[in-house]
Amino acid sequence: METVPLEISRADRQATGENYMAKLRHIAIISIDPGRLAKFYVAVFDMEVIHRSESSGAVYLSDGTINLALLTNKAEGKPSGIKHFGFHIEDSEVITGRPAS
């Protein structure tokens, strides 16, 4: 049985000719007050508001590289916090061909 390393370094990928890395591009956060949280990110981290949804109350920010989606917490008792994050990938076959463990 072949042992698969848990971490494969960028140098190891380059040595095998696989010079491809997915890039984190999106983080979604659930908040009771997305507008207030957006003001914080704009004031403290100089992020830019790129869209506001009048219907849902969501606010979308960017620093020019990473987008931040501040989503309204609509479910009573549901915790606020990170909902999900997304990666930009150029070739899904490269990603799906990598070992998951």
- Domain assignment present for 100: no
Q: In total, how many domains does the chain have?
A: 1
Here the CATH number for the domain that contains residue 69 is: 3.10.180.10
Q: Which stretches does DSSP call E strand in the chain?
A: 23-31, 48-52, 59-62, 67-72, 81-88
Predicted confidence pLDDT, tens digits, the chain (101 residues): 444 444 555 666 555 555 566 788 899 999 999 999 999 999 999 999 999 999 999 999 999 999 999 999 988 788 888 898 888 887 777 777 777 76
Report pTM: 0.68
Q: Is 14 inside a domain boundary?
A: no
Note whether residue 63 is domain-resident.
Answer: yes
* Domain encompassing residue 59: 22-89
| 5: in domain | no
Residue 45 falls inside a structural domain: yes
